[in-house]
C-alpha cells in the first residue's frame, strides 16, 4: 500500500471519528433518519432538496372567525396563529378550507403566516358552510371546523360594526354621516332611501337602505383608501353593492360599486377601477391591473410571460391573458384556459352568443391580415370606435417586447364579439 493511500485512509478515519464525537455530545444537531426532503415550490412545479436540519415544527393552530352569522354577500374574516408546542410563532403556509352544507372540505386559498405565526384572510361565501385551517407542511395539524350561516335579515351600521370587531375595522376616525337626498339621487341606483357611512382606521362601513331592505358593506384595504380619494359614497364610484370578494390569485380582491368595479392585488400598488359592471366588470378590472406589463421575447411563437407560466404553455398568449383575468377576478373558467387559439375561438363560440355589435365586457376576435388571429376584451364603445384591452401586443411596447395595452381602434378592424353574459 502506498504512502499516499495510507494518509488518505488516516484522514478519513480521523474525520469520521471527529464527527462521531460531535454527534455524541450534541445529539440535538443530528438529522433524524426519518427527516423528509424539503419541498420547494416554484409555480406549479415542486423540487426535492436534500433533508436539512429541521426547523421549528408547527404543533398547534388557533382559528377564529369574526362572526358565525353573515348576511347575504357579506365576507367573513378568518384569522389565527400557528405555533410550536412552546408557543413560538412559526413561519409556514396554511390552507384555508371551506365546506358548503352537505359537501366536502376543499382549499380555497393557501396563505403564508407572519414571523409571529399569524394569518388573516377575508372570504365571501356563496352558501352557509364550515371553515377550517390546515398547516400545509403537516396536515395532521388542523383547526376545528367553525360553522358560518348566511341570513337575509337587515344589517345596520351598528350591527355590522359589532359583527366585524375592531380587529377588522380598527378605530373609528369619524362619526356616522348621512348622504344628502341630492347626493343619493346620483349614486346610480333606484330605490335608495338612505345612505349612512362611517370611517375607521382600516376601512369604511356604508349602510344602504334600498327598497325597504338595509345592508351594510365593508370597504377595506387599498380599496378603502382609493374610495375616500374618489369622494366616498357621494363620489364617482357611487355606493358599494356587496362586500369585496377576496382570497383570489395574487392575494387579490374585487368589489362592485354602483358606478364602478374595483380590483386590487398584493403585487400592484395601484387600484384598478373600471366602469364595466357585474361579472364582466370584475374580469375587465382584473385585466386592467396588468396594463403596462411587458416581456422581452426572441421568438414570438415561444414565450415565457407570467400568463404563459400560469397557463402552462409557451404559445402566443392573448387568450391566456384573458383567461388569467377571468380566474384572477374569481370568475374561474368563464374564459377558459385553452392555449391553442383556433380551439379557443371554437370553444368560446360554442359556449356563448356571438355577434357584430360591440359591447363592454365582450371578448372580441380581431381581424389580422384578413385572418381572425387575435383576441381582446372590450372596455369602451364610442360611435365607430371601440376601446380594447389585450395581451401579446407590440402596441406601446419597445421593439423586442410584447405586453398588455388598452387602446381605441376602428370598429372595422374587428371581427366579431363573444358575449359573456
> With the C-alpha atoms ordered 407, 409, 415, 418, is the resulting torsion angle positive or negative?
positive
**Percent of the chain having pLDDT more than 90?**
79
**Percent of the chain having pLDDT more than 70?**
86
User: pLDDT (tens digit, 9 = 90+) per residue, 73-130?
Assistant: 999 999 999 999 999 999 999 999 999 988 999 999 999 999 999 999 999 999 999 9
Asked whether residue 204 carries a pLDDT value surpassing 70, the answer given is: yes
Q: CA nearest 65: which of 117, 131, 136?
A: 131
Query: How confident is the model over 132-137, as a mean pLDDT?
Result: 96
Asked whether residue 38 carries a pLDDT value surpassing 60, the answer given is: no
pTM value is 0.84
**In terms of domains, do 89 and 205 share one?**
no
Residue where a domain stops, chosen among 103, 118, 150: 150
User: pLDDT (tens digit, 9 = 90+) per residue, 278-334?
Assistant: 999 999 999 999 999 999 988 888 999 999 999 999 999 999 999 999 999 999 999
All cell numbers assigned to 368: 389580422
DSSP 136: T
Residue where a domain stops, chosen among 210, 245, 274: 274
Query: How confident is the model over 380-391, as a mean pLDDT?
Result: 96
Query: How confident is the model over 352-378, as a mean pLDDT?
Result: 90
In 28-152, where do the E strands start and end?
Answer: 38-42, 45-49, 60-65, 69-71, 76-83, 93-100, 106-112, 118-123, 129-135, 146-151
pLDDT at position 49 is: 40
Strand pairing report for 146-151 and 69-71: parallel
Bridge partners of 324, per DSSP, are none
pLDDT at position 40 is: 36
pLDDT at position 367 is: 83
- Cα–Cα distances in Å, from 138 out to 36, 118, 177? 12, 17, 48
Range among 8-12, 36-40, 206-210 with highest mean pLDDT value: 206-210
**In terms of domains, do 109 and 197 share one?**
no
**In terms of domains, do 162 and 234 share one?**
yes
| pLDDT band (50, 70, 90) for residue 274 | very high
Q: What is the domain-level CATH number for residue 129? A: 2.60.40.1930
Residue where a domain stops, chosen among 96, 123, 150: 150
Query: How confident is the model over 172-189, as a mean pLDDT?
Result: 97
Query: How confident is the model over 366-378, as a mean pLDDT?
Result: 83
Q: What is the domain-level CATH number for residue 335? A: 3.90.1720.10
* Helix ranges (DSSP H) in 329-405: 341-351
**In terms of domains, do 139 and 166 share one?**
no
**In terms of domains, do 352 and 382 share one?**
yes
- Is 4 a member of any domain? no
| CA atoms in the 13 A half-sphere facing the CB of 234 | 11
Q: What whole-number distance in Å separates Cα of residue 258 and Cα of residue 226?
A: 15
pLDDT at position 415 is: 93
Q: Which domain holds residue 302?
A: 294-419
Asked whether residue 150 carries a pLDDT value surpassing 50, the answer given is: yes
pLDDT at position 55 is: 54
Q: Total domain count for the chain?
A: 3
∠ CA 17-22-23 to the nearest 5 degrees?
A: 95
DSSP 91: -
All cell numbers assigned to 148: 358560518
pLDDT at position 30 is: 34
* Helix ranges (DSSP H) in 206-353: 221-229, 278-288, 306-311, 318-328, 341-351
**In terms of domains, do 209 and 248 share one?**
yes
All cell numbers assigned to 72: 347575504
Asked whether residue 53 carries a pLDDT value surpassing 70, the answer given is: no
Amino acid at each position: 500500500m502506498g504512502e499516499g493511500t495510507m494518509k488518505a485512509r488516516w484522514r478519513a478515519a480521523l474525520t469520521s471519528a471527529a464527527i462521531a464525537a460531535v454527534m455524541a455530545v450534541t445529539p440535538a444537531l443530528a438529522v433524524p433518519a426519518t427527516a423528509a426532503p424539503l419541498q420547494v415550490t416554484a409555480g406549479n412545479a415542486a423540487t426535492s432538496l436534500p433533508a436539512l436540519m429541521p426547523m421549528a415544527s408547527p404543533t398547534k393552530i388557533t382559528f377564529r372567525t369574526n362572526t358565525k352569522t353573515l348576511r347575504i354577500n357579506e365576507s367573513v374574516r378568518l384569522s389565527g396563529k400557528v405555533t410550536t408546542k412552546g408557543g413560538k410563532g412559526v413561519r409556514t403556509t396554511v390552507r384555508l378550507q371551506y365546506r358548503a352544507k352537505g359537501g366536502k372540505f376543499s382549499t380555497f386559498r393557501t396563505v403564508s403566516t407572519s414571523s409571529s405565526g399569524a394569518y388573516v384572510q377575508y372570504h365571501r361565501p356563496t352558501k352557509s358552510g364550515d371553515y377550517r385551517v390546515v398547516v400545509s407542511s403537516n396536515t395532521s395539524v388542523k383547526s376545528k371546523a367553525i360553522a358560518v350561516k348566511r341570513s337575509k335579515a337587515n344589517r345596520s351600521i351598528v350591527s355590522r360594526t359589532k359583527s366585524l370587531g375592531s380587529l377588522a375595522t380598527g378605530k373609528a376616525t369619524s362619526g356616522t354621516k348621512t348622504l344628502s337626498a341630492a347626493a343619493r339621487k346620483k349614486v346610480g341606483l333606484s330605490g335608495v332611501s338612505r345612505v349612512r357611512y362611517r370611517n375607521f382606521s382600516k376601512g369604511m362601513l356604508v349602510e344602504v337602505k334600498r327598497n325597504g331592505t338595509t345592508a351594510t358593506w365593508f370597504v377595506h384595504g387599498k380599496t378603502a383608501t382609493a374610495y375616500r380619494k374618489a369622494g366616498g359614497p357621494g363620489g364617482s364610484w357611487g355606493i358599494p353593492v356587496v362586500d369585496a370578494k377576496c382570497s383570489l390569485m395574487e392575494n387579490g380582491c374585487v368589489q362592485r360599486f354602483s358606478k364602478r368595479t374595483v380590483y386590487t392585488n398584493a403585487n400592484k400598488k395601484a387600484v384598478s377601477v373600471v366602469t364595466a359592471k357585474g361579472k364582466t366588470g370584475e374580469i375587465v378590472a382584473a385585466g386592467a391591473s396588468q396594463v403596462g406589463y411587458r416581456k422581452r421575447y426572441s421568438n414570438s411563437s415561444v414565450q415565457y410571460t407570467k400568463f404563459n407560466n400560469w397557463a402552462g404553455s409557451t404559445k402566443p398568449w392573448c387568450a391566456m391573458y384573458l383567461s388569467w383575468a377571468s380566474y384572477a377576478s374569481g370568475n374561474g373558467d368563464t374564459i377558459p384556459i385553452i392555449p391553442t387559439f383556433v380551439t379557443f375561438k371554437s370553444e368560446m363560440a360554442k359556449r356563448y352568443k356571438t355577434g357584430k355589435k360591440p359591447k363592454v365586457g365582450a371578448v372580441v376576435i380581431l381581424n389580422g391580415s384578413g385572418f381572425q388571429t387575435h383576441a381582446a376584451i372590450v372596455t369602451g364603445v364610442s360611435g365607430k370606435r371601440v376601446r380594447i384591452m389585450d395581451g401579446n401586443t407590440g402596441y406601446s411596447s419597445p421593439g423586442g417586447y410584447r405586453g398588455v395595452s388598452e387602446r381605441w381602434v376602428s370598429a372595422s378592424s374587428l371581427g366579431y364579439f363573444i358575449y359573456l353574459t
